[in-house]
Amino acid sequence: MNGNTEVITGDRELTITRSFDAPRELVFSAWTKPEYLMRWFAPNGFTLPSCEMDFRVGGKYRLCMRGLGRDHWVSGEYREIVPPQRIVWTGALEHEGNEVVTTVTFADLAGKTQLTVHQTFSIEPDSTRGARHGWTETLEHLAEFLKAA
């Protein structure tokens, strides 16, 4: 099951499930610190040169994804954090302002982890296409980060 990615898309929703050959606590921790996110949280062709986060319920974050010849600033707020089970946050590209609600869940599978990313978009129906590809690539980078951890 490791590395298999399942993607389900709807008009304004996206769900991606992938398993990782790493304990749930380690996979969860990869989402909790800027220095970790900066090593893996971007799709192919992008980097994360800036990441500020106050990882607590009500805490804010702001990050810069650099790619396609420009900087893409994203900011939002953490709504729910249940270590090592679940993280919920809001986010929007600062130049667009369209909010996305992201829920990431971490399930223990006998020492491995099943991670599910669910996003609800407030923007046009075809918005899930780019997100699907971006998340698939980003989760591959997470797998590489976890192997090196």
User: What rounded mean pLDDT belongs to the chain?
Assistant: 91
Q: Any idea which fold 5-148 has?
A: Alpha-D-Glucose-1,6-Bisphosphate; Chain A, domain 4 (3.30.530)
pLDDT at position 98: 82
Q: How large is the C-alpha radius of gyration of the chain?
A: 14
Is residue 1 predicted with pLDDT exceeding 70?
no
Dump pLDDT digits (tens) for 64-77: 999 999 999 999 99
pLDDT at 32: 98
| Residue 2 predicted with pLDDT over 50 | no
70 Cβ contact partners less than 8 Å away, ≥ 6 residues apart: none
The domain limits of the chain are 5-148
Mean pLDDT over 99-126 rounds to 90
